[in-house]
Structure 1
Amino acid sequence: MHKETPAVRDGILTAAATALIRDGVEAFTISRVAAEAGLSVGGLRYHFASKQALLEGLIDHAVGGFDQALERAGDTPGARTRAYIAAALPGEGSGRIAAALVATVAVDTSMLAILRRHFERWQSMIEDDGIDPTTSTMIRLTMDGWWLAAFADLAQPDAATAAELKSRLTRLIDEATDA
């Protein structure tokens, strides 16, 4: 019998992301993820009854950092938009998260609907951030593009340019809160 603990679930989800990124969409199976996690197929199925449940868990796990950042941001005008910038900035682990999300959608396109719901919720949160919704939306879309560029290694900005971009986006929020 397997214990249902967050650590075991997190280990399975990490193994799923690793297998998906390393082996590709075509090779993504419950048995491969179980082997990567050091579990039997039955042990994995105790936590995730199906491949669909595993993919949904992978998306929820991957977007958890965004959720936590936006929830912790508080109600100060512009706080959630600032938190979105910080959460979306390419950095430690963000490329892996992006790759897992894109690969999950590639395995099962119905997962795109789940991802869309997360983005719609985030959009609502930053539109209701106490600043001009057009400004917060422009910043969200900029960060989404930056995040995708980091994932696909599409001419990412160098460190100095990245710092200036972050500074300018932050100034837009400051200007919107002063208005």
Structure 2
Amino acid sequence: MHQRSPAVRAGILEAAARVILREGAEHFTISRVAREAGLSVGGLRYHFASKHDLLVGLVDHAVAGFDAALAAAGDAPGSRTRAYIDATLSDTGSRELAAALVATVAVDSRLLAVLRAHFARWQAMLDDDGIDDTTAVLVRLAMDGWWLAAFVDLAPPRGRAATELRTRLNALVTEATGD
């Protein structure tokens, strides 16, 4: 009998992201994820009753890093917008988030509403970050495009260019705070 624990659940979700990253959303199946996680299909279904439940869990798991980063950012003007930049460019989670987003759209389009709700909530947090709304939207859209470009390898910025772009985006936020 499997134990329902956060660690096992997280392992399944990480395996699901790896399957999507390696094989593509068209090959995303419960049996492949179970095999990747080292579980039987029944063991996986103990944690996620359906493919839909697994995808919802993957989205929730993937966005948890963004939620935590924004929650920990504090209330200083621009702090959440800077946290959004940092969370997007972090090596931990950005590919997983992209995989979750691609999977939800490609595998189960009903989950687009879940994603829309997360993005609307994040944008509302950035709009309430003590900077002008235009800068908050500009930074979010730039970061969303950046991780998508990195995920599908559409000539994403690297090296010096990435460093300079990150510096410029942070400077926009600083300018918007009046500091």
**Cα distance per residue 1:130-168 (max 9 Å; x no partner):** 111111111111111111111111122231111111111
1:26 alignment partner, SS class:
helix
Please say which of residues 168-177 and 124-133 is displaced more in the overlay: 168-177
How far is the alpha carbon of 1:85 from its aligned partner?
0.5
> Which position in structure 1 is the counterpart of 2:44?
44
> Which position in structure 2 is the counterpart of 1:55?
55
**Partner Cα separation in structure 2 for residue 93 and residue 130 of structure 1:** 26
Contact 1:70–1:84 (CA under 8 A) maintained in structure 2: yes
2:117 alignment partner, SS class:
helix
1:110 alignment partner, SS class:
helix
> Which position in structure 2 is the counterpart of 1:152?
152
Structure 2 counterpart of 1:155, one-letter code? A
Computed over aligned residues only, the root mean square deviation of the Cα atoms, in angstroms, reads 1.6
**Partner Cα separation in structure 2 for residue 134 and residue 42 of structure 1:** 49
* TM-score, normalization by structure 2: 0.93
Please say which of residues 23-32 and 138-147 is displaced more in the overlay: 23-32
Please say which of residues 48-57 and 10-19 is displaced more in the overlay: 10-19
How far is the alpha carbon of 1:92 from its aligned partner?
4.8
Contact 1:15–1:36 (CA under 8 A) maintained in structure 2: yes
Q: How does 1:76-115 map to 2 (within 5 A)?
A: 76-89=76-89, 91-115=91-115
**Partner Cα separation in structure 2 for residue 158 and residue 17 of structure 1:** 23
Structure 1 counterpart of 2:22, one-letter code? R
Q: 1:27 to 1:167 in 2, by over 3 A?
A: closer
**Cα distance per residue 1:58-109 (max 9 Å; x no partner):** 1111111111100100111100000000011263552343133213320111
Q: 1:32 to 1:157 in 2, by over 3 A?
A: closer
Please say which of residues 15-24 and 157-166 is displaced more in the overlay: 15-24
Contact 2:65–2:93 (CA under 8 A) maintained in structure 1: no
Find out whether 1:173 has 2:173 as its counterpart. yes
**Partner Cα separation in structure 2 for residue 100 and residue 51 of structure 1:** 13
**Partner Cα separation in structure 1 for residue 20 and residue 152 of structure 2:** 16
Number of matched pairs: 179
**Partner Cα separation in structure 1 for residue 115 and residue 12 of structure 2:** 20
The 4+ residue runs of structure 1 with deviation greater than 3 A are 90-93
**Partner Cα separation in structure 2 for residue 74 and residue 102 of structure 1:** 30
Please say which of residues 46-55 and 14-23 is displaced more in the overlay: 14-23
* TM-score, normalization by structure 1: 0.93
**Partner Cα separation in structure 1 for residue 35 and residue 91 of structure 2:** 29
**Cα distance per residue 1:45-68 (max 9 Å; x no partner):** 111111110010011111111111
Contact 2:59–2:97 (CA under 8 A) maintained in structure 1: no
Q: 1:48 to 1:92 in 2, by over 3 A?
A: closer
**Cα distance per residue 1:19-69 (max 9 Å; x no partner):** 222233333221221122111222111111111100100111111111110
